[in-house]
Structure 1
Amino acid sequence: MEPPEPLASRSLLLLLLLVAVGRANYPDWWSLAMSHQYASLGSQPVLCASIPGLVPRQLRFCRNYLELMPSVAEGVKLGIQECQHQFRGRRWNCTTVTDKHAIFGPVLEREFNSMRPLPPSHLATRESAFVHAIASAGVGFAVTRACADGSSSVCGCDTKRRRPPGDGWKWGGCSEDYEFGIMVSREFADARENRPDARSAMNRHNNEAGRMSIQDRTHLKCKCHGLSGSCEVKTCWVAQPDFRSIGDHLKDKYDSASEMVVEKHKEARGWVETLRPKYPLFKPPTDRDLIYYERSPNFCDPNSETGSFGTKDRVCNLTSHGIDGCDLLCCGRGHNTRTEKRKDKCHCVFHWCCYVSCQECVRVYDVHTCK
């Protein structure tokens, strides 16, 4: 396991996370604005009350669990990286905006109060559903992992879920307390989703779907002990899944996300918006499925109003007939081809014992980019 980040670096990450929380009407706690203007903050103490924009629930959480906040930030970063991996061949490739607090641009963002607000349709697409789910899952995952590796004194290994051991094995190691990680994600990520509108209802649902992807895939992990590779003693513990499997699962949920319809109801507290499936003949979504209520743009051309960066100059796969192929990714505009020379390792030889020596070869590759 990799060593923890230095305290100064983790404090910087925390500040980058929290300064953005006050921005806009969506949970900007995803918005790790890795900007040079924060470079001097890393060595300063973190005071929750001095961070603008925290709602009372988040402020209480920050004060009570200050040492967990770097793990929350690490989980957001993990979610961003996984989002970019899952959508690397799509027209929307989870591109981040480095010069703004909103890392995903208008796909998720309401513009600041000093600017013309974007209509709600830009906030309720499949892409937004996925990002909510993967970021919430990332927070739960990272906090759980930090508890298990001893990075935090407020949590640790899970001892309450142990049932009688099975034949040939006994409990050992450190079972990961995923319930605590999910609790942290739920408490902090959902803190702003308390409005009686459709967007909050959608966000809460997708946040929870992301967290349930961890719970449903937590499994028993075992290790054998004994001489000469024997398994005289086998110890087992509860472990989270690999985060890539969570990303794969949520990507499948993105592809099969359920479109919803907004309904308004008059209640004692005023008008309340709820969501119902648009197509009642289809199987209704469960709490493990992703939901949305606005159609996505095609992301072919740059459009600041829809959050599209376009696909011009994106690398495409000439031989693929899928969305990453030049026909679909380039939206019918065609593609350019250039050659690149790259240095690769070649003629590798294994030497006993025990190293590999390689030569360096220059190879020519065709690179295809969208017009």
Structure 2
Amino acid sequence: MDPAGLTVKPWPFDTGSTEAWGRKRGHSEADLWGWEPVVYSNSLSLSPTLPFSVSQCSRVLGGYPIWWSLALGQQYSTLGSQPILCSSIPGLVPKQLRFCRNYIEIMPSVAEGVKLGIQECQHQFRGRRWNCTTIKNNLAIFGPVLDKATRESAFVHAIASAGVAYAVTRSCAEGTSTMCGCDSHHKGPPGEGWKWGGCSEDAEFGVLVSREFADARENRPDARSAMNRHNNEAGRMTILENMHLRCKCHGLSGSCEVKTCWWAQPDFRMLGDYLKDKYDSASEMVVEKHRESRGWVETLRAKYAFFKHPTERDLVYYEGSPNFCEPNPETGSFGTRDRVCNVSSHGIEGCDLLCCGRGHNTRTEKRKEKCHCVFHWCCYVSCQECTRIYDVHTCK
């Protein structure tokens, strides 16, 4: 577990395999992305404040969202007081760099939002073959697993963009930023038995920040940018569509004589559950090319439009996912060997599916736990310590 609270692993493959990332589609990187890629080398001198080593990421496409590495950097919590750190954030395009310098006090919330999104991704995929593990000491924190336009990439973009919007909105409501605050535009007349009070969270401002920052590099006329923009927006819309009234009662002995209410964001776990459902039902697309005045432009069309036409709330993808059963440096798969599985489940977290038919090992594990707890008046609880034996099943 990384100090940032994320599950990280060392990259187990020869770093030379990342050299081929930019050659997969047969185009030069400058033609493909619209500008020269960001190139990192082992000899590049980076700011000592960076929490990463680029020795395992010798060459990364300019289109890869390297700025997600904000989630792993402890020092970015001080961005608000040290604007010079903007230039040390890897992978920012000029528009993002200007945003960072102009709105520096929001950047800690942007970093917190990416971290929030990745943590939720790891929770939602904890029992699946790909479990959203980030790679230690790598600027491309997911490795090549997001290089393809798969369902997994769609989910990560959606949850990360939602996380940025969510964290910025929460920060504004808490008063930690001077450039934003409570929402006063959507109150309207109060309902029967309650009145407006507290601080309504301005989710539209958070969504605007996420859109301006996260979508800044998705301006290329290719299918991948179109996919990323769509999934980013789908993630942000889950917040706007699930805003709700939160109320607090006032009065003697909880009589609720007066009730004050305000607009609040949903719990982020609920957003994660919602987007995970969208991942399971994501719409497969096909790439179409059109010639316009500015050149060739790629767009996406639903592969099975007669069956299901995706809405702006759905996640979209156009490349199939690997099975993630075996370690593979090209796909970024760590495989599932030694993963804990559920022997009694027939779902994806069960030993049959998670272990890809290889079988599983079983070992016993002793755990010390509190037991025989007794409440004493008044007011404390005393417990004994018991040792219990559990069977732990891991994939072969």
TM exceeds 0.5? yes
Q: For 2:203 and 2:309, locate their aligned partners in 1 and report how far apart those are by CA, in whole Å.
A: 28
The one of 138, 147, 164 equivalent to 1:139 is 164
The one of 187, 197, 215 equivalent to 2:212 is 187
TM-superposed deviation, 1:60: 2.1
1:259 counterpart = 2:296: no
The one of 126, 129, 134 equivalent to 2:154 is 129
Matches within 5 A, 1:1-371: 24-32=62-70, 34=72, 45-47=82-84, 50-51=87-88, 53-108=91-146, 122-371=147-396
Q: For 2:220 and 2:140, locate their aligned partners in 1 and report how far apart those are by CA, in whole Å.
A: 21
Q: For 2:248 and 2:339, locate their aligned partners in 1 and report how far apart those are by CA, in whole Å.
A: 44
Q: For 1:160 and 1:347, locate their aligned partners in 2 and report how far apart those are by CA, in whole Å.
A: 53
TM-superposed deviation, 1:16: 6.0
Q: For 1:152 and 1:45, locate their aligned partners in 2 and report how far apart those are by CA, in whole Å.
A: 15
SS at match of 2:134: coil
Q: For 1:285 and 1:131, locate their aligned partners in 2 and report how far apart those are by CA, in whole Å.
A: 18
Q: Report which stretch shifted further, 46-55 or 176-185.
A: 46-55
| Shift in CA distance, 77/317, structure 1 to aligned 2, threshold 3 Å | same
| Shift in CA distance, 16/140, structure 1 to aligned 2, threshold 3 Å | farther
Q: For 2:238 and 2:227, locate their aligned partners in 1 and report how far apart those are by CA, in whole Å.
A: 17
Q: For 1:310 and 1:241, locate their aligned partners in 2 and report how far apart those are by CA, in whole Å.
A: 34
Q: For 1:33 and 1:221, locate their aligned partners in 2 and report how far apart those are by CA, in whole Å.
A: 29
| Shift in CA distance, 15/171, structure 1 to aligned 2, threshold 3 Å | farther
Letter in 1 for 2:321: S
Count residues with an aligned counterpart.
342
SS at match of 2:153: helix
Q: For 1:28 and 1:53, locate their aligned partners in 2 and report how far apart those are by CA, in whole Å.
A: 5
Q: For 2:295 and 2:73, locate their aligned partners in 1 and report how far apart those are by CA, in whole Å.
A: 41
Letter in 2 for 1:87: F
Indicate the percent of aligned positions where both proteins have the same amino acid.
Answer: 77
Q: For 2:128 and 2:114, locate their aligned partners in 1 and report how far apart those are by CA, in whole Å.
A: 21
* TM-score, reference length from structure 2: 0.82
Contact (CA 8 Å) 1:217, 1:241: kept in 2 or not? yes
Letter in 2 for 1:65: Y
Q: Quote the RMSD (CA, aligned, Å).
A: 2.3
| Deviation by residue 1:110-140 (Cα, 9 ceiling, x = unmatched) | xxxxxxxxxxxx4200000000000000000
SS at match of 2:110: helix
| Shift in CA distance, 44/150, structure 1 to aligned 2, threshold 3 Å | closer
Q: For 2:302 and 2:288, locate their aligned partners in 1 and report how far apart those are by CA, in whole Å.
A: 10
TM-superposed deviation, 1:231: 1.1
Per the alignment, residue 19 of structure 2 pairs with: none
| Deviation by residue 1:307-360 (Cα, 9 ceiling, x = unmatched) | 111000000001001000000000000001111110011001111122111110
Contact (CA 8 Å) 2:283, 2:308: kept in 1 or not? no
TM-superposed deviation, 1:48: 6.0
Letter in 2 for 1:45: Q
Letter in 2 for 1:89: G
| Deviation by residue 1:247-290 (Cα, 9 ceiling, x = unmatched) | 00000000000000000000000000000000121121011000
TM-superposed deviation, 1:362: 0.4
Q: Any stretches of 5+ residues in structure 2 without a counterpart?
A: 1-46
Q: Report which stretch shifted further, 43-52 or 357-366.
A: 43-52
| Shift in CA distance, 53/299, structure 1 to aligned 2, threshold 3 Å | closer
Q: For 1:314 and 1:334, locate their aligned partners in 2 and report how far apart those are by CA, in whole Å.
A: 12
| Shift in CA distance, 44/173, structure 1 to aligned 2, threshold 3 Å | closer
SS at match of 2:155: helix
Q: For 2:170 and 2:164, locate their aligned partners in 1 and report how far apart those are by CA, in whole Å.
A: 10
TM-superposed deviation, 1:58: 1.1
TM-superposed deviation, 1:43: 11
* TM-score, reference length from structure 1: 0.88
| Shift in CA distance, 42/50, structure 1 to aligned 2, threshold 3 Å | closer
